Amino acid sequence: MSAPNSSYDPVEVTPLHPEEVDRMRAEALAAITAANDLGELKEVRLAHAGDRSPLALANREIGALPPTARKEAGQRVGTARRDVSDALKRREADLEAERDARVLVEEAVDVTLPWDRTPRGGRHPVTTIADRMADIFVGMGFEVVEGPEIEAEWFNFDALNFLPDHPARAMQDTFYVADDEGGESGRLLRTHTSPVQVRALLDRELPVYVVAPGKTFRTDELDATHTPVFHQLEGLVVDRGITMAHLRGAMDAFVAGMFGAGLATRFRASYFPFTEPSGEVDMQCFVCRGASVGDPDAPCRTCSSEGWIELGGCGLVNPRVLRAAGVDPDVYSGWAFGVGVERTLMFSQGIADMRDMVEGDVRFTRAYGMEI
C-alpha cells in the first residue's frame, strides 16, 4: 500500500494559465461572430462549448491544481465559459431573426397575381360508382377479378352457350378483331363481362365468389342513350347447393348497400344462353318508392312512374357453362348477374344524357368530387 502523498508538488497546468484561457475565449468569440448561419453556429457551439472544447477540457484540469490555486482558476474558466455561452445565445437570436426575415420575403405570395385557371381533374364517376358497386360484394367476401378487353370468341360466346347460329350471338353487336390479313382472328372486343365468369372458373379452385368490373364494347352509335364503350359489373358464385334464393339475397344486399335499406327487389323471367333459369332483377324506385304509380299528380322521372328500376340480368349458371369450364354440374351450381355501370350511374344521379359520361368534359367529372 502506498503512503499518503504528503509532499505534494503541484504540477504546472498549462491550459489554466490566464493567457491560455483568454486565448481560448477569444478564439471562441471570433468563431461565433464569424458563423454566418444557424448550421455553422451549431458547429461552432460543438467546437467551443461542447464537452470536448478547449475550455471544457481546461475546466477538467482544475482538480489537478493545489487547493489554494483552484478558486482563482475556477473563476477564470467559469467566466470565459459564461462569456462564450452568452455570445452563442446572442448570435443564435440574431441568426434566427435574419432567417425569419428572409423566409418572409422568399415565401411571400403575391395575392394580386391572376389565379391558375387550369381546372384540376377528378376521378370519373363511372370509376367511382363501379368501385362502390364492387365494394359491396367485397364486403360479403367476394374477390374482384378482371379479364381482357380483347377477348377470344370462345370465352365471349361459345363457352357461354351461345351456339354458332344462335340469334343471341347476333343480338350483341360485336366489334370483331381482324387478323393481319384482314381475315377472322377469333378475337373480338368483349361485348359483356360474362366471359370473365369462365376465366374465373378455369383460373381458381372452387368455390368461386367473384365480381368482375370492366369495359365492354358494342357497335352502337354514341347518342343520348347508347355508347359503344361502356362498363358492366359481373357477379359469379359457384359452390355446392347454390340456389335462386342465394341470388335473391345477394341482390337485396346489393340494393341495400347502394341505395339504403328497405327497398324491395323483384325478378322477372328472361332469357340468356348462359343462365337457366334467367331473369331481370328490378329494385323498387329509391326516389318515389312506388308512390308515383297511377298518380299523375306526382310523376317520378327516376322510374318513369313505374315504381321499379331495372338493375340488370341474372340467373342460375347454365350447367353447360359449368361443363365448359370443367366444373361438374352434378356437384356444383351457381348464380350470376350482370349490371350496367353507366345505367346505374345515370338513374342514381339523374344523368339524362350518356354523352356527358364519355365526352371527358372535366366540368362534369369535377361535379362528383373525389368520393372514395
List interacting residues with ligand DAH (CB under 6 A): 192, 194, 234, 272, 275, 313-315, 336-338
Q: Considering Cα of 143, then 144, then 150, then 156, what sign does the dihedral take?
A: positive
> What is d(CA 188, CA 186) in angstroms, rounded to the nearest whole number?
7
CA nearest 246: which of 141, 104, 320? 141
Residue 300 CB, shortest distance to ligand DAH, in Å, is 26
- Find out whether 25 and 84 touch, Cβ atoms under 8 Å: yes
Residue 328 neighbours by CB under 8 Å, 6+ apart: 322
Length of the chain: 372
User: What is the closest distance, in whole angstroms, from the C-beta atom of residue 216 to ligand DAH in the complex?
Assistant: 7
Edge-first strand order for the sheet with 275-284 is 143-144, 208-217, 229-239, 333-340, 308-317, 275-284, 265-272
**Residue closer to ligand DAH (CB basis): 217 or 356:** 217
CB of 174 to ligand DAH, least distance (A): 12
Read off the C-alpha cell for 294.
297511377
CA distances from 167 to 164, 272, 300, 312 (A): 9, 11, 36, 20
CB of 315 to ligand DAH, least distance (A): 5
Choice between 81 and 199, CB closer to ligand DAH: 199
Between strands 176-178 and 184-189, the pairing is antiparallel
Minimum separation from the CB atom of position 361 to ligand DAH (A): 27
CB of 123 to ligand DAH, least distance (A): 25
Residue closer to ligand DAH, measured from CB, 59 or 232: 232
Q: Which C-beta is closer to ligand DAH: that of 31 or that of 314?
A: 314
Provide, rounded to whole angstroms, the least separation between the CB of residue 227 and ligand DAH: 14
C-alpha atoms less than 13 angstroms from C-alpha of 211 in its C-beta half-sphere: 23
- Taking the least distance from each CB to ligand DAH, the nearer of 59 and 197 is 197
DSSP character string of 210-229: EEEEEEEE--PPPSSS--SE
Closest separation between CB of residue 138 and ligand DAH, Å? 18
Would you say 122 or 277 has its CB closer to ligand DAH?
277
d(CA 165, CA 11): 115
Nearer to ligand DAH, 25 or 190 (CB): 190
Residue 77 or 237 having the CB closest to ligand DAH: 237
Phi/psi of residue 181, each to 5°?
-90, 5
